[in-house]
């Protein structure tokens, strides 16, 4: 991956971090829970940055997908100085959005890449090829956010089936998987936002390290990760 697209997400995500947090706190009573579960990951990333290592072990964030806001909520939930920033994303190819109205102008194109979103290359039926960019990011010590369900929920619930890509990334790179569950942004309207009707909560779970498995049953292991996401609930 071009180094420019490795740096641009850091600049953009940091540039809007304070404004995003302020808006989310003001209009959505934004709350973050479970950051303590990331302590070991923060230490690991800090050591990599201090040592100047070109390659290291990144972090995979696996989240439920309720809204287009999810891609903004996750980086906003991390501390401003977190070594886990910026967040890179696994997205759909641009062709997927060709009938999506205004989204086809922005989604999957240059703006997406500048923000840190890189599509899984379709048509290969080979995780190594389709996720090559994300493997490279993780091997360089970056953080990747993936939605195991592969699409936004249609009813607000977490589905039963997961795509195997998240498990492949974990096995291939040796990275741990941090389950994340986002509450409160499903089907949120502008009225909900302006009238302070929503309470958005981001919950980070305990990192998961997949066991060694010669059979590499990616979809089964991805299902375990999805179950870990579903098991997360906000503490009152």
Q: Tens of pLDDT along the chain (236 residues)?
A: 788 999 999 999 999 999 999 999 999 999 999 999 998 665 555 554 444 444 457 999 999 999 989 999 999 999 999 999 999 999 877 666 666 665 666 676 788 899 999 988 876 678 999 999 999 999 999 999 999 999 899 999 998 899 999 999 999 999 999 999 999 999 999 999 999 999 999 999 999 998 766 567 899 999 999 999 999 999 97
What CA–CA distance (Å, rounded) separates 200 from 178? 19
What is the β-pairing status of strands 176-183 and 117-119?
unpaired
- Contact status, residue 225 vs residue 208, Cβ threshold 8 Å: yes
* CATH number of the domain enclosing 193: 3.40.1130
> Residue 204 domain-assigned?
yes
Where does residue 152 fall: left (phi above 0), alpha (psi -120 to 50 degrees), or beta otherwise? beta
H or E stretch including 28? helix 3-28
Is residue 235, in this structure, part of any structural domain at all? no
Q: How many domains does the chain have?
A: 1
Q: Is residue 90 part of a domain?
A: yes
Q: Is residue 225 part of a domain?
A: yes
Q: What pTM, to 2 d.p., does this model score?
A: 0.89
Domain assignment present for residue 236? The answer is: no
Query: Containing domain of residue 48, as a range?
Result: 3-230
- Measured CA to CA, the distance from residue 178 to residue 82 in angstroms comes to 15
Query: Tokens 């999805």 appear where?
Result: 226
| Cβ-proximal residues to 115 (8 Å cutoff; 6+ apart), any chain | 8, 9, 12, 13, 71, 89
């Amino acid at each position: 991956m071009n180094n420019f697209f490795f740096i641009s997400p850091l600049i953009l995500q940091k540039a809007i971090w304070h404004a995003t947090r302020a808006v989310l706190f003001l209009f959505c009573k934004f709350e973050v829970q479970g950051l303590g579960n990331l302590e070991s990951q923060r230490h690991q990333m800090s050591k990599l940055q201090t040592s100047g290592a070109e390659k290291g072990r990144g972090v995979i964030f696996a989240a439920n997908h309720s809204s287009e806001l999810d891609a903004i909520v996750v980086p906003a939930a991390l501390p401003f100085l977190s070594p886990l920033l910026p967040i890179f994303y696994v997205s759909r190819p641009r062709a997927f959005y060709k009938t999506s109205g205004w989204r086809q102008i922005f989604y999957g194109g240059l703006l997406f890449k500048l923000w840190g979103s890189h599509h899984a290359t379709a048509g290969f039926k080979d995780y190594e090829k389709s996720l090559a960019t994300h493997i490279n990011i993780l091997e360089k010590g970056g953080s990747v956010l993936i939605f195991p369900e592969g699409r936004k929920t249609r009813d607000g619930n977490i589905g039963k089936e997961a795509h195997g890509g998240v498990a492949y990334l974990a096995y291939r790179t040796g990275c741990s998987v941090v389950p994340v569950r986002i509450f409160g942004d499903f089907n949120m309207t502008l009225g909900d936002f302006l009238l302070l009707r929503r309470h958005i909560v981001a919950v980070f779970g305990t990192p998961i390290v997949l066991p060694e498995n010669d059979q590499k049953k990616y979809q089964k292991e991805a299902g375990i990760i999805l179950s870990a996401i579903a098991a997360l609930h906000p503490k009152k």
